[in-house]
Structure 1
């Protein structure tokens, strides 16, 4: 078995991985279909594994080996692309593109201020972000598609390293004027007869439910929503309570929009806002600068 392969073969492999077919990958790469097929065949021969299988829909699906190689290949190609700029000092410069992921539950609390801070401090950094569920975003980090992703530590998955941004703790969100709103803290049992509205992007609702159940309480989940503004509105109307994570520098709008946030006195698992980053890699200075700015914002 030969172990020799080329960067070009890796490039065409990633193109097929993204396109789902050799034909489409060849078109995007502006090469012939025969050349793309040969590159994949040569790469499989060099590695001694099959990288794709054909599904019933005739779409090429990566094998376990192909999936594993995908993340490594993207990181390798990304680092190779950085070489010209790195040689000229670009690796240490605060300029260039930074691609972030952010959980939907975190994004409105962090991203508007992070975008403003980046523009004010480093106008030559091009900051882009996508929102999604924690597992999906971390998979994109591991695959080299994102430089970092902001998630909660309880939703971390294998295959990434974690950089702590801020300590976070669940609170009960209640309407101003609710009979329980003046309490210094609440137990889950205090809410057993109250209706709840929960944030419904997996696994958020499931984790909240499990916290209640861990102390023998079954929450009365009346509504679910994927829109934080809807949840705050429903809570502010007095129709239900919710559970939300709170950290020191959280935007005051989330504390004063007709609601109060009361600490929970029941034992809770440790949870933090973290930046999931590619494992074991030296990051460009611009990425660390953005992560540092997020830490400053989250710390208040």
Structure 2
């Protein structure tokens, strides 16, 4: 039986369900809302069923038929992507490619030793590093990455596996006046130039759990998108920040920057391994995730 829908229809349905809105789906598919709206209407016309209910503010909620179509399409798209990875592999002994990224932080000090160990145990899998931003769920859904090492508890259509516990700490230059303290309080940041990688504070991180609990805030806040750049600025005495101890462990161990606890009890930070919720249990991505879980932290 010939298919009634084309690949573009299925990609649209999966993106709308996974991301929740036509706006976000259009961003991921590099299209427009109008194009996706016409495409969805065409899919429903060809199938003769309603795939989404249009609610308040035209919010799209998948119907029973929409959910069934999404599940089948998500599995098929994942398999098609995997097949392309196999065909595009450079080495004849490589049958799979797994793309790994780190959420929020550009830290890869753990990667060389993991790459060597993973190649020994999984020579059939090629690993690739991918730069991701502060929304790992989106990049997983779009298919641009397969496995993300991420701090906090990201939301979205993904599977989350706890990896290890870390701590958010104040980082300063070695000669900063706060060095030597047992811990700092929010009031200690009032006169500091505070550096952050986010334009909008991420729920569950330092702003939510520490800075906002005080009555005063840093008077100067500069946004520097890359944590590696923040590290260099802090080392040069150009500001302070609150970041992951593990992510910045090489710079801390070398003495270029100093870490100080935030609050008497500290700010714990869980790290997780994130994969797509459609990933099968025996896939190459899950095998690499199992191996990485045993390797971290490093």
Instruction: Report if TM-score (shorter chain) is over 0.5.
Output: yes
1:217-275 deviation digits (Å, cap 9, x = unpaired) = 3123342201223211221122321111123x865245426111122225566531111
Which whole-Å CA distance do the structure 2 matches of 1:40 and 1:151 have between them?
36
Distance 1:7 1:127, change over 3 A: farther
In 1: Cα distance, 2:53 partner to 2:143 partner? 18
Aligned residue pair count: 262
1:174-185 matches, cutoff 5 A: 174-185=172-183
Equivalent-residue separation in structure 2 for 1:186 and 1:38 (angstroms): 57
Q: What secondary structure sits across from 1:287 in the alignment?
A: helix
CA 1:205–1:140 in structure 2 vs 1: closer, same or farther (change >3 Å)? closer
Quote how far apart the aligned CAs of 1:138 are: 0.7
Q: Which residue of 2 aligns with 1:212?
A: 211
Which residue number in structure 2 is paired with residue 88 of structure 1?
Answer: none
Assess if the C-alpha contact under 8 Å between 2:195 and 2:230 holds in 1: yes
Distance in 1, Cα, partners of 2:234 & 2:177: 13
Cα RMSD (Å): 4.2
CA distance, structure 2, for counterparts of residue 146 and residue 70 of structure 1: 20
1:30 is matched with none
Instruction: Summarize the alignment of residues 198-277 of structure 1 with structure 2, pairs less than 5 Å apart.
Output: 198-200=196-198, 202-204=200-202, 207-210=205-208, 211-247=210-246, 251-256=249-254, 258-266=256-264, 270-277=268-275
Bigger fraction of residues in helix: 1
Q: CA deviation at 1:79?
A: 4.2
Rate the CA distance shift 1:48–1:160 in 2: closer, same or farther, 3 A.
same
- The 3 A distance-change label for structure 1 pair 75 and 147 is farther
Aligned to 1:134: 134
Q: CA deviation at 1:208?
A: 3.0
CA gap 1:124/1:186 in 2 versus in 1, 3 angstroms? same
Aligned match for 2:5, one of 6, 9, 12: 9
SS in 2 for 1:252: helix
How far apart in 1 are the matches of 2:103 and 2:271?
10
Q: Alpha-carbon deviation of 1:65?
A: 4.0
C-alpha change, 1:40 and 1:219, in structure 2 (3 Å) is same
- Deviations along 1:63-121, one digit per CA (max 9) or x if unpaired, are 554997667623333247779xxxxxxxxx99512133432415434445544443454
What do residues 32-84 of structure 1 show as CA deviations (whole Å, max 9, x unaligned)? xxxx9998356542x423699xxxxxxxxx9554997667623333247779x
Aligned counterparts of 1:16 and 1:161: Cα–Cα separation in 2: 22
Pair 1:98 & 2:94 matched? no
Of stretches 5-14 and 230-239 in structure 1, the one that deviates more from structure 2 is: 5-14
Partner residue of 1:169 out of 167, 170, 185: 167
Equivalent residue, structure 1, for 2:90: none
Q: Mean Cα displacement is larger for which, 62-71 or 250-259?
A: 62-71
Distance change in 2, residues 1:121/1:254 (3 Å): farther
TM-score normalised over the length of structure 1: 0.67
Residue in structure 2 matched with residue 33 of structure 1 by the alignment:
none
List gaps (5 residues or longer) in structure 1: 25-35, 53-61, 84-92
- Segments of 5+ residues of structure 2 without an aligned counterpart are 14-28, 84-92
Q: Which residue of 1 aligns with 2:152?
A: 153
Distance 1:221 1:287 in 2: 42
Query: Contact 2:196/2:223 (CA < 8 Å) preserved in 1?
Result: yes
Question: 1: CA distance between counterparts of 2:75 and 2:144?
Answer: 8
